[in-house]
Chain A
Amino acid sequence: MTAVDLPAPRRSSLDVVLKVRELGIVIALAVLVAVTTISNPRFLSGQSIRDILLGTAILAVLAVGQAVVVITRNIDLSVGSVLGLSAFTVGTLLQNSPRLPVIVVLVVGAAVGAVCGVVNGALVRFGNVPALVVTLGTLYVVRGITYFWAGGSQINADELPSGFLDFGNATVLGIPYLVLLAILVLVVTGVVLRNYRTGRELYAMGSSPQAARLAGIPVGRRTIGAFVVSGALAGLAGVLFAARFGTIDAAAGTGYELNVVAAVVVGGVAVFGGSGTVWGAALGALLLTTIASSLAVLEINQFWQQAIVGGLILLAIGADRLVAVRVAAGLKKRGSHVS
C-alpha cells in the first residue's frame, strides 16, 4: 500500500459498533417489557417498576465494579462473598449502634469491600497469579470468614434500626434512595472511565498490557486500584443488600458473581479487556433483573431464568466476536501474520 490512499476522516466505526451494542440491549429490554405488559398490564405499575429498579440497583453497583476490573483484562469472582461479608458487618454494626447515620454505614461497607479488593489486587499484582484463580480463592476465603464470624446467626429486620430500613425503601420524587445511589455510582465511574486520565489508562492496560507498560502507565498500581474499586462497590452493594432485604445471614450474596459477570458480559464489556462501558454493564444488570421479573409475571417456569442467563452470555460473546471479526476485516487492509 502507499500512504497516499489513507482513509479519509470519518466517524469511528468502533464507536458506532458500541452504540449499536448498547442499543441492542435497550431494544431487547423494550421488547421484553412490551410483551410482559401486554400479558399483564400491572407489570408497568409504579410498584412493579420500583421493584425492578431496586433489584437492579444492587446488581448494577456490582456490575459497575466488575466492569472496571474486566476492562483491565482481569476478573473478580469474589464479589458475592465480599457483598456477604460487608452486609453482615454493617448488620452487626447497626445491631450494636443503631444510631449510626446511614452515610457512615455506607462508608464502612465500602471500606470492608475495599480491604478485600486490596488483597485481591495485591495477590494479582505481586503474586503474578491470574485474577481468576486469586478471586476464586478469595471467594472461598471471604465466605468462610463470614460463616466463621456469623456462625448460625441471622440478623433480622426487627434488629435493624428503622432509619436504616427506611433508607432501603424510602424514595425521593418516587425514586428509591438505593436507585439514586446506584445511579450516582454509575455516573461517577462512567465519567472517570471516560473523561479522566486514570480511566483511560485502565482501558489502555486492558487493550494491550505490554504497550501500557512501555507507555509508562503504572500497571501494577492501576490493577490494584481496579480491584479496590470493585471490592469497595461490592461492599457498598452489601449495605444496599442489607437495607433492601433486612434479613442478613452468612449466605448473603452467594452465587451473585455469576449474575454480575453475566451482566457485564451481556452489557458488552469484552472479557479480554480494553473495551466496553459501565453504562453497558448497568444496562446488562437491568436486563437480567427485568428478565427475572418478567418470568414471574409471565408465569414462565422460574427455572428458565438461569438457562436464559447462560444463553445470553453465550449470545453476547458470540455476537461480539462476529462483529469484531467483521469490523477488523473492514479496518484491516493488510498484514495478517499468524498470531
Chain B
Amino acid sequence: MSAELTEVRAARFLNWNVAIIALTVIVLIVAAATVDSFGTSQNFGFLVLDLLPIALVALPMTLVIVTGEIDLSVASTLGLSSAVMGYLWNANQPIESIIPLCLLLGAVLGAVNGLFVTVLGLPSLAVTIGTLALYRGLAFVVLGDSAVADFPAVYTDWVTGTIGGTSIPDVLIIIVVLAVVFGVVLHATPIGRAVFAVGAGEQAARFAGVRPGRLKFWLYVASGLISGLAGVLWTLRYSSARADNGAGLELAVVAAVLLGGVSIFGGKGALPGVIAGVVLLGSLQNALRLSDVSNEALNVVTGVLLIVSVLAPNLARSVLQRRRT
C-alpha cells in the first residue's frame, strides 16, 4: 500500500501538464526580463500572429492524438485551402463565398482521412502521410507556383489588426474561442469522455457503448475544418495565397501537442498543457530570434524538446515500474 502511495505521489510530481505550464511561464518571464523588446505589445501581436496556425491546428490534433491516431496532413490541408482560396479569388469569386467554401473543403479533406482510417481501418500514420503528399500536390496543381495577392484590405487588415484601441490582436479572439470550445468538448462533455476512452482502450470503449469509428471520423473532419480555417487566415495574414503555404507545419503542431503532455499512445493529455506547449514553442522561437540566435539552433531546440517531452514521462514510468516488478 505504501508503495502505491509513493507512486501516486511521484506521478503527481511528474505530471507533465503542470510541468509544461510552469516551464512556459518561466520562459515567458525570463524572456521578458532578458530579451529587449520581447515584452512589448507590438511583439505580443507578432507572437500571436506567428502562433496562430499552430495554435489552431493543435486543437483538433490534440483530440485526434488522444484517441491514439494522428493527422499529418494538416499542413497540406492548410496549403490546399490557401491555394483554392487564391484560385477562386483569381476567378473573380466573392470572398464571402470563398471563405466558407474553403472551410467546407477542409472538412471534406478531413473526411477523406477519416474514411480511410475508420472504414478501411488503415493505420492513420500511413494514410495521412499519403494525404500529406496528395493534398499538397493538389495545391500545386490548383495554383502552380504562382502567388495570388490583393485580397480585400478589410479582411487582411482585420486578421493583422488589433481590437479597437488595444494591442490585442483580432485573431486572438478566434484562438481563445476555439480553444475554449475544444477544451470544453474534451474535458467536460460525453464526447470528451469518449475521446479519452477510445485512446485508453478502443475495445473497452466499444464495450461501453462508444462508437470509436464514428468518433474518429468526426475528429478528422474537425481537424480538416480547422486546418482549412488556418489556411484562410494564413492567406489573409500574408495577403498571399500560395500552394506551399504552411509546408512543414505538421511537425511543429505535433511537436507542440506532444510537448503539451499528450501521450502519443493516446488516452492521456489536457488542452491547457497543449496551449502551453504551443506558447512555449512560439515564444522560445520569438525570443531566440530577437536575441539573434539562428534558425538552426531553433531546429535543434524543437527536436530535442519533442524527444524529451515523450522520453521524460516514459523514463519516469519505466523507472517506477522497474521498482515495482
Taking Cβ atoms with an 8 Å cutoff, the residues of A that contact B are 75, 123, 127-130, 132-134, 136-145, 147-148, 258, 261-262, 265, 271-272, 301, 303-311, 313-314, 317-318, 321-322, 338-339
Contact = CB atoms under 8 A, between A and B. Distances in A.
Interface in B114-146: 116, 120-123, 125-127, 129-138, 140-141, 144-145
B97 to A, nearest CB: 25
Contacts of B265: 130
B276 interface: no
B303 A140 contact: yes
Given A123-B307, A141-B303, A265 B126 contact: yes
Contact of B121 (A129, A271, A321, A338): A321
A310 B314 contact: no
A262 B131 CA distance: 11
Interface of B: 70, 116, 120-123, 125-127, 129-138, 140-141, 144-145, 203, 206, 243, 251, 254-255, 258, 264-265, 294-304, 306-307, 310-311, 314-315, 318
A273 to B, nearest CB: 11
Given A136-B306, A271-B126, A144 B299 contact: yes
B300 A148 contact: yes
B34 to A, nearest CB: 22
A-B pairs, 3 with minimum CB distance: A307-B137, A310-B134, A140-B303
Given A140-B299, A258-B129, A147 B138 contact: no
A140 B301 CA distance: 8
Given A307-B137, A310-B135, A144 B307 contact: no
A338 B203 contact: yes
A321 B120 contact: yes
A16 to B, nearest CB: 23
B248 to A, nearest CB: 8
Main secondary structure of the interface of A (DSSP, over half): helix
A177 B181 CA distance: 59
A9 B301 CA distance: 58
A142 B307 CA distance: 13
17 contacts: A127-B311, A129-B310, A133-B258, A133-B307, A139-B303, A140-B306, A142-B303, A144-B296, A144-B299, A261-B129, A265-B129, A271-B125, A271-B126, A310-B130, A318-B122, A321-B120, A339-B203
A209 B31 CA distance: 46
Given A134-B307, A262-B133, A145 B126 contact: no
B254 to A, nearest CB: 7
Contacts of A309: 133-134, 137
Contact of A133 (B140, B203, B294, B306): B306
Nearest to A303: B140
A306 B139 CA distance: 10
B134 A307 contact: yes
Given A123-B307, A128-B318, A141-B304, A310 B299 contact: no
Given A134-B307, A265-B129, A318-B122, 15 more contacts: A123-B311, A132-B70, A132-B125, A133-B310, A140-B251, A141-B307, A144-B299, A144-B300, A262-B129, A301-B141, A307-B133, A307-B137, A314-B116, A314-B131, A338-B206
Contact of A148 (B206, B255, B297): B297
B305 to A, nearest CB: 8
Which of A127, A140, A142, A262 gathers the greatest number of chain B CB atoms within 10 Å?
A140
Contacts of B306: 133, 136-137, 140
Contact of B314 (A127, A317, A318, A321): A127
A318 B125 CA distance: 13
Contacts of A262: 129-130, 133
A123 B141 CA distance: 39
A310 B132 contact: yes
A254 to B, nearest CB: 9
B122 A130 contact: no
A118 to B, nearest CB: 15
B121 A307 contact: no
B122 A148 contact: no
A310 B300 contact: no
A308 B300 CA distance: 32
Which of A137, A148, A321 gathers the greatest number of chain B CB atoms within 10 Å?
A137
A310 B122 contact: no
Contacts of A261: 129
Nearest to B76: A310
Contacts of B145: 303
A147 B116 contact: no
A256 to B, nearest CB: 13
A12 B302 CA distance: 48
Contacts of B129: 258, 261-262, 265, 313
Contact of B299 (A129, A141, A311, A322): A141
A203 to B, nearest CB: 18
A318 B134 CA distance: 15
Contact of A313 (B133, B138, B141, B298): B133
Nearest to B317: A128
Contacts of B125: 75, 132, 271
A147 B131 contact: no
B137 A305 contact: yes
Given A138-B303, A140-B300, A141-B303, A314 B123 contact: no
